Amino acid sequence: DSGVTQTPKHLITATGQRVTLRCSPRSGDLSVYWYQQSLDQGLQFLIQYYNGEERAKGNILERFSAQQFPDLHSELNLSSLELGDSALYFCASSVGVGTQYFGPGTRLTVL
């Protein structure tokens, strides 16, 4: 158990809908990262937050947004969903810029 929790574990929704994925980092970790893993792909970095502020952006679509709250949990919002958004979404946390510890992931299926 990495100490990073993600909910929900599975999410099935329809095209055009909006969903919210939630992540709680390990106790003491200030950085939260979001990654997307599509079929047969490595993990693609989406966005990083550090202590409530956006720190870095990767290949994140404009339809996607994220935030980190004062209690350091983070939410990833995905809107106007398309079939191609079906993937595993992982959250990771670290103390600062260091080894990242991953949550179990949320499997999103868009029908």
Q: Pick from 11, 21, 26, 33: which binds another protein (CB under 8 A)? A: 33
Whole-angstrom distance, CA of residue 106 vs CA of residue 37 = 10
- We find the least distance from the C-beta atom of residue 82 to another protein, in angstroms, to be 23
Residue 6 CA from chain centroid, whole number: 9
Smaller CB separation from another protein, 3 or 16: 3
**Cis, bond preceding 70 (omega within 30 deg of 0):** no
Q: Pick from 13, 22, 55, 60: which binds another protein (CB under 8 A)? A: 55
Give the CA-trace dihedral at 98, 59, 107, 17, to 10 degrees.
140
Stretch that binds another protein, among 11-19, 61-69, 71-79, 90-98 (CB under 8 A): 90-98
Q: List contacts with another protein (CB under 8 A).
A: 2, 4, 6, 31, 33, 35, 40-45, 48, 55-56, 58, 90, 92, 94, 96-105
